[in-house]
Each structure stands twice: as structure tokens, then as C-alpha cells.
Amino acid sequence: MPEFQPTLLWAVAVLPFAGFLINGIGAFIAPDRKILATVTGPAVVGAAFLIAVVNFLGMRGAELHGPIVETYWQWITVGGLRIDAAFQLDQLSMLMTLIVTGVGFLIHVFSVGYMHADGGYLRYFAYLNLFIFFMLVLVLGSNFPLMFVGWEGVGLCSYLLIGFWFKDREKADAGKKAFIVNRIGDLGFMIAMFMLYANVRSLDFVTVFEQAPVTFAFGGAAVTAITLFLFLGAAGKSAQIPLYVWLPDAMAGPTPVSALIHAATMVTAGVYLVARAAVLFALAPVTAIVVAGTGALTALFAATIGLAQYDIKKVLAYSTVSQLGYMFIGVGVGAWAAGVFHLMTHAFFKALLFLGSGAVIHAMHEAYHHTHRHDDAQDMRNMGGLRRYMPITWATMWLATLAIAGVWPFAGFFSKDEIIWQVGARAVGPFEGWFTAFWIMALVAALLTAFYMTRLMVMTFHGRNRTGEAESHHLREVSPVMWVPLAILAMLSVVGGWINVPEAIAHAPVLGWLPSAEWLHEWLHPITESAEAVAAVNLPAAAEHAPFGGGEVMWAALSFGLAVAVILLAARFVGGRQIRPAAQSAEPRGLMRVLYHKWYVDEIYDAIIIRPVLATSRALARFIDDGIVDGAVNGVGYAARALGWVGSRLQTGQLNSYAFAVVGGVLLLIALVVLR
């Protein structure tokens, strides 16, 4: 087979950046020339996607000896540290590039319809292009610092886009919250980089991952600390407990932003980081428990909150947090390919769900706009029966719901089921107790997922319409520029899982009736093989059965059956209840009230972190800043004035005293000269 040469790899990242410059400058000089952003915004991302596809096809047809690193220039050279501005193309970064540019392109197209009436249209596309650029730097960077540049850059774009409507105080605050919470994680990322350099003397991916099995002892303190700090960074970016609180608030941004940044791409950066550093994580079994445990806890916890939310985007936000938890279970227990697989399928169906909710909100907003009513266009209690008005949105969102709920043969079934299976099968040796617990949590969370998603669909699209008599006449299906991306994503949500059907299921009756191959595992094998080698030496092999017996096929069939049962149950339960419009609804009671208020986590954080920090800051401001720092500065001023006052008393204006001073001085000088 021929040697593989990447084609225009730099252009993949540079094109969106060019789009950012064009739209950014346009936003300053001609913010009303919307045609500029309508063309360049999606076009640059589409072109980047095409280049990525060309590279992908080239990569499939050629032999690849390790990752390809293209160095553009030397970025930092200090002492023994040398960091290049270089892109690394391998199977993992290729896959991420395809997801980022592909899903990104669809969301850009959708945005053309969604944001067209907005005054900041060009600014919006400038930010969105910039985000794609930084995301590509993140996934393509060939060393930790360059990845960190992308990491911070996407954080910046996330902040800018959450606070896109910054005139609304609440939305600007949500942007700040996201930025500040992410800082905590970034600190972990930086400490991990420092420690890595101290131990390995390099920050290049290739060198670090080659050296790691030699440098670090299995389960040693150094590698455990490094991976825990890396995971702190990942938990911040990917919204895991305890740093998940920013993501639900991030829904303040425009809905396509939620789809792109807070569902499909940026929030999965943490998962990508763990998968990228798989060798390090394989060397640290304690971290494995922490990562998988955090993931399992988050998956379950966020799913419970999703049960009781009324804002359609909040449900999806908590669903995203929950699904990210699944990915961390996968990459935590050592099933890196499974985690990345779920990342990919999740990008499809969650982007679709968010865009679908965006279409719904768009329609609701239009309807309220026509009758000049100011009700909440995002509250599901104000929706209901939208199926009649928006059939395409309804159909595509149901496909995504079935996918996320884990119904065969949709994408989510294969990816989620594989994670659940992997955590169960790996509950052996030192991990037995822990992983069994995580396995049960993951199963329960899967059922909750099916429930809250069905609840969302039924409340939004089925039953009686609660928008209002006059308003319902103005409810319309969205334009093709918005529903075509929905349809494409819906197709991907259906078939996206077929690229990685486990061998056991491929040969099972009914479940195996698909054109399928265990392709993704093979594709990612070069990335994970060194990590798997580490695990194979140090850990017992995965079991052939789940903790309580039963093989892969049995559990897959069981979870499929349970998911369908829960969906039917939820449809009956929610459909049978009388729902009032938001304005006439009372606060929920009992456990639902606790869930509605998100377990009061924001309030708890407010009480134990934010208030003490603010109080301490105020005290410090008063005593240290006002008292000591300002005191010192003012003190110098006062001292100079006091000295000047004393000096001015010497200026009597009396000629005699001046003469006296002169004579005294002369005598003194003479005395000094003579007596010396």
C-alpha cells in the first residue's frame, strides 16, 4: 500500500479562521450585509469538512506507520523545552476532525435560518467560525500546550456565545459562570502538564506516550497524580461532577450554539483528552476508578434532574451531562474506543435534539411574536401537540430520542450498550466491587434517559396544544435551511451506530440483522493498543459475562427491551396527565420539587463556596486592599505633604533668618574643612 501523505492539513484549521476574520471584520464595518456571513460562515466549515474527508479517504487507502506530525514552526524554545506549532494526524484526531467539521457544518447551515433575524448575525458567525478553528487546534495539536491553546480558545468562544445576548444580565452571568468554572479545570490541566514535563522532559504526544510505560511505574504516585489532574481539566470542560453546574446555565446562548458547543463538540474535549492520554490513564488504576466513578455518578445524577425540568433546553442540557458521564465511564474503565464511539453517536443525536428544540423554540417564538405575547417559548408546558404543525421536526426528534434511549437499531443502542457491557465485563480483580456498582448505576441511568426523553417528546409534540388559541394559528414548520440539517442528522442517528457493532451482537438473531462491522475498534486500534498492552500486563482479562451472569447478547436484548418498556410507560404516564400552561402551573411538590430545583446544588455551591469566597474577598478588599495597599500608597502621599509642611515652616520670609541660615551653613562648611 502507498505511503499516506495528508492533503492541505493546515487548511482545515486555517479556513475557519479566515471565516472568522472575514465575518469579524464584516461585523464591524457592515453588520447589515448578512449575505456575507450566510455564504462564508458555512462555506469555510464545509470546505474544511471536504478536506477532512479527502484526508480520511486517503488514510483508509494507505498504510499508516504511526501518527503523522506536520510541523509548521517552532513555537516555544526555552532550555530543554521545545514546543512546535504542529498538527498531528492519526486515527483519533481524524475522527474528531470529521465530527467537528461535519456536525459543525450542519449546525452552521441551521444557524443561517435560526439567527437570520438577529442583529448580531455577522458577529455570531465570526464567533462560530472561531470556535471551529480552536476546536480543530484542540483535536489536531501535536502536544499538550498546543492542545491547551485550543482548549482555552474553545472556552473563550463558549463564553462569547453563551453571553451572545449580553444585554440580558442573566445571560452575561451564565457566560461568566461557564468561564470561571472552567478555570478550575484548566488549573488541573496546567498542573498535569508541569508534572508531565518534570517527569518525561517532553510534552509532545508521541514522545510522552512512548516514554510513559518506561518512565512511570504501574499505579505509581506520579502517574496517578498526573492523570487525576488531567481528569480535573476534563471534568471542567466536559461538565462532570462537581464542575457540571456551568453547562445547564450555558443554555442561555443561542440554541445552535448549545448544539455545537455544549452538546456535540467542545464538551466532549475532556473525553478526547482521556482517550488521547489513554496510556497514562491505563497506568493509573486509582484514576480509572475515579474517572469511571465520576462518570457513573454524573450520568445517574444528571438524569434524575432531567426528569423534572420544564425548559426543553434544560432537559437536553442535563441529558448531555448524563451522556458525557457515560463517555467517561467508557474511557475510565479502559474501553477507550467505546467512549469515543459514544462521543461520535452522541454528537449526531444530541446535535439533532438541540437543533430540533431550536426549531421548536423558533416556531414558538414566531407564534408569540405575532400575537405580542411574552410567554416562555422554551417551556414545554406551553407546547404540546406541536406534531401537527411541525411534522418533520417531530419525526427527526423521535429518531434521535430512540437513539439516545438505546433502542435497536439506532446509533445510541450500540454505543451506550457497549459502554455498559464493558464496565460490567471489566468488573474483575481489583475493580470488582467498584465496577459492579458503576454498572448498576449506568443501567439505571439508561432507563432514566429513556424516561425523560419520552417525557420531553410527549410534552412537546403530543397531546393538546397549550400555546394558546390565537398563537396556534401562527405555528409553522421551519424553513428547509433548518430542517435539512435535521434530516441529515436524523439519518446519521439511525445508521451511525452500525459502523461498530460488536462481534457477539453481529451474530445474534434479530439484533445482528444489520450491515455491520466492528470497524471503529479496528480504526482506533493503533491509538489504544499501547494502553491496552499496559492493561493486559497488569490487570486480569475482562470477563465473558456481566457481574450477575449473562452474556453480551443477553444484556443487549434486555436493555433494548427495558428501554422500549420505559418509553411506552413514560408515554402513557406523561400523556395521561393533565398539563397546564406554565403561567397557570404550581410549583411541583415532594421529590419532584427537589429534582426541579436540581437537588439545590446551585444553592449549596452558593452557600459553601460563592458566599464565603465573596465574603473573604470583601474582607480582604476592605482590610488588605483599602487598608494596607491603599494605606501605603496614600501614606506616602501624606508623608510627603507632612514633610513639605515642615519644610515650609522654615520659609519665614524673614531676610534675617535666611542670612542666619547662610552664615550658619558657611561656618559649618569651614568648620568641616578646617577641622577635618
Positions touching another protein (CB under 8 A) are 648, 651-656, 658-660, 663
Backbone angles phi, psi at 259, to 5 degrees: -65, -45
**Minimum distance, C-beta of residue 635 to another protein, in the bound complex (Å):** 24
Nearer to another protein, 578 or 648 (CB): 648
**Minimum distance, C-beta of residue 653 to another protein, in the bound complex (Å):** 3
Nearer to another protein, 79 or 653 (CB): 653
DSSP state at residue 625: I
**Minimum distance, C-beta of residue 617 to another protein, in the bound complex (Å):** 45
Q: Give residue 318's identity as a one-letter amino acid code.
A: Y
- Contact at 8 Å (CB) between 279 and 334? no
**Minimum distance, C-beta of residue 657 to another protein, in the bound complex (Å):** 8
Cα gap 624→430, rounded to integer Å:
51
**Minimum distance, C-beta of residue 79 to another protein, in the bound complex (Å):** 59
DSSP state at residue 386: G
**Minimum distance, C-beta of residue 639 to another protein, in the bound complex (Å):** 19
Cα gap 322→295, rounded to integer Å:
8
Hey, what's the torsion of the CAs at 67, 330, 138, 112, to 10 degrees?
120
**Minimum distance, C-beta of residue 637 to another protein, in the bound complex (Å):** 19
**Minimum distance, C-beta of residue 642 to another protein, in the bound complex (Å):** 15
**380-to-314, 341, 390, 457, 569 alpha-carbon distances in Å:** 10, 31, 15, 9, 19
Nearer to another protein, 600 or 658 (CB): 658
User: Which candidate, 353, 502, 515, places its Cα nearest to that of 421?
Assistant: 502
Q: What is the DSSP string of 124-168?
A: HHHHHHHHHHHHHHHHHBSBHHHHHHHHHHHHHHHHHHHTTTTTS
DSSP state at residue 381: G
Nearer to another protein, 2 or 647 (CB): 647
Nearer to another protein, 655 or 673 (CB): 655
Backbone angles phi, psi at 242, to 5 degrees: -95, 10
Which run of H or E residues covers position 87?
strand 81-89
Nearer to another protein, 73 or 645 (CB): 645
**Minimum distance, C-beta of residue 659 to another protein, in the bound complex (Å):** 5
Q: Give residue 586's identity as a one-letter amino acid code.
A: A
**Minimum distance, C-beta of residue 663 to another protein, in the bound complex (Å):** 6
Nearer to another protein, 510 or 663 (CB): 663
Omega of the bond leading into 242 within 30 degrees of 0 (cis): yes
Q: At how many degrees (to 10) do helices 144-162 and 269-276 cross?
A: 170
Nearer to another protein, 584 or 651 (CB): 651
**Which residue is listed with cell 480483580?**
429
Nearer to another protein, 214 or 650 (CB): 650
**Minimum distance, C-beta of residue 668 to another protein, in the bound complex (Å):** 14
Nearer to another protein, 624 or 662 (CB): 662
The residues, any chain, with a CB within 8 Å of residue 572's CB and separated by 6 or more, are none
**Minimum distance, C-beta of residue 182 to another protein, in the bound complex (Å):** 59
Nearer to another protein, 35 or 650 (CB): 650
**Which residue is listed with cell 440539517?**
485
Q: How many CA atoms lie within 13 A of 317 on its CB side?
A: 27
Q: What is the DSSP string of 580-618?
A: --GGGPPPP-HHHHHHHTGGGHHHHHIIIIIHHHHHHHH
Map residue 83 onto helix, strand or coil: strand
User: Which candidate, 519, 510, 521, 513, places its Cα nearest to that of 554?
Assistant: 510
Nearer to another protein, 207 or 652 (CB): 652
The C-alpha cell of 90 is what? 492519526
